[in-house]
Structure 1
Amino acid sequence: MNYPIKGFLETSFSDWPGKVAAVLFLPSCNFRCPFCHNHELVLRPEQLPNYPLDEIIKTLHRRRGWIDGVCLTGGEPTLQAWLPALIRDLNPALRSLRMEAGVKLDTNGSNPGCLEALIRENLVDYIAMDLKGPLEVNRYGALAGVPLAGDRLAGIQTSIQILLEGKVDYEFRTTLVPSLIEAAEVYELARKIRGARRYTLQNFNPRDPLDSALQKVAPWDDETLRRMQTRVNEILREKNS
């Protein structure tokens, strides 16, 4: 099957914690996050070339011994009905290359049914789920860049619970844009997922976001980001009162 894979990064040291990964970029997204840097995938995926899967697999073979696994990102990969088929087609190559890390999936958590199916079929080994902000309809919708009906927020909350069950390794992530989200909101999010294995705070990069006005926003300084991450880690380890 020919899949519309819209980008391919042969080697990444940052997309999978502790692993060296190849990255496949899949098209389209149901969110319009103002800080998104992959907006060509979101807004105009049809204008991007396709990367044939057989050529990607040949590249993986050439890099045997260097790559631990493959990361599927977007866009939002779970929008694609062919996502399970793509992973099944990738798996023989991963096994032959002894890529023990397997497959990592990046997701916004809006399709819990897909996540459940992928976990049930053992098609993914690690899931990174983005938490945009406070789990409240208007705030979350503002950070996701789309009106968010209650049922869509409920789907995101279901995805959170799926990951917290721990049937697959995972992390939660939030991109910190100083003008869009407050530290107190991040700490409250951490309390909502208390007991989670990992909650990673990502600093905002003002270079070429979807909302060009954010180019003028300065990201957090490194020391502030470290303090926030330390506090988040403390909250995750706290016992529920």
Structure 2
Amino acid sequence: MTPDGERRLTVLIADDQPLVRRGLALVLRADPGIEVVGEAGDGEQAVAAAHRLRPRAVLMDIRMPVLDGVRATARLTAELPECRVLALSTFDQDEYVVRALRAGATGFLPKDISPEDLAAALHTVDRGEAVVAPRLLTRLIAAYVTAEPPAAPGTAPAAAPALSALTPREVEVLRQVAAGLDNAEIARTLRIGVQTVKNHVTAVFAKLGVRDRAQAVIVAYETGLVRPGRTG
């Protein structure tokens, strides 16, 4: 428990380098709202430890032996859907980011992130929100997500059955999410209330079968709803 009586965010650290694990643990233990409950040296160990310890979040290195971080993330999000995965890597190439997000990670950050930002990111993914380093987010989808040719402006692509369940307003909200707008910005853009936007976003996530904004953005590009460089 934290000094104000709230439950600490329990975190499992998965990295194949012991010094990195220890360094991350020291950084996170400086945050009174975070409790490091365990460490793992590969993806297989991470999945087993998560089942045993039931952390609310896992810091997952992408490149590990036995079972890599992407496959471990896919297993965790399928087997323990209440557990959030925040992927970390010194290899911040866009392909790793997209693979991690597709596998179900709620965020992806480079290992050179500051201690304060790392702790803040963990609290963010614990709330179910996506976190991707700004330097990666814009270029990753444009470079690595394949989109079908877009339909006429204002309509969902004909070859996008994933979008067929969305209402016209939900399609427009998804378009704004793909542009990187938060709920308040979407509300101003569409001239609707913030709570209405939240309701639309929740409905979009449910209909698309995605967990967060990052995965929703990938769907928007893959279906051709938006194109690289033209999210507005």
TM-score when scaled to structure 1?
Answer: 0.35
Bigger relative CO (Cα 8 Å, ≥ 6 apart): 1
Question: Comparing both structures, which one devotes a greater share of its residues to helix?
Answer: 2
TM-score when scaled to structure 2?
Answer: 0.36
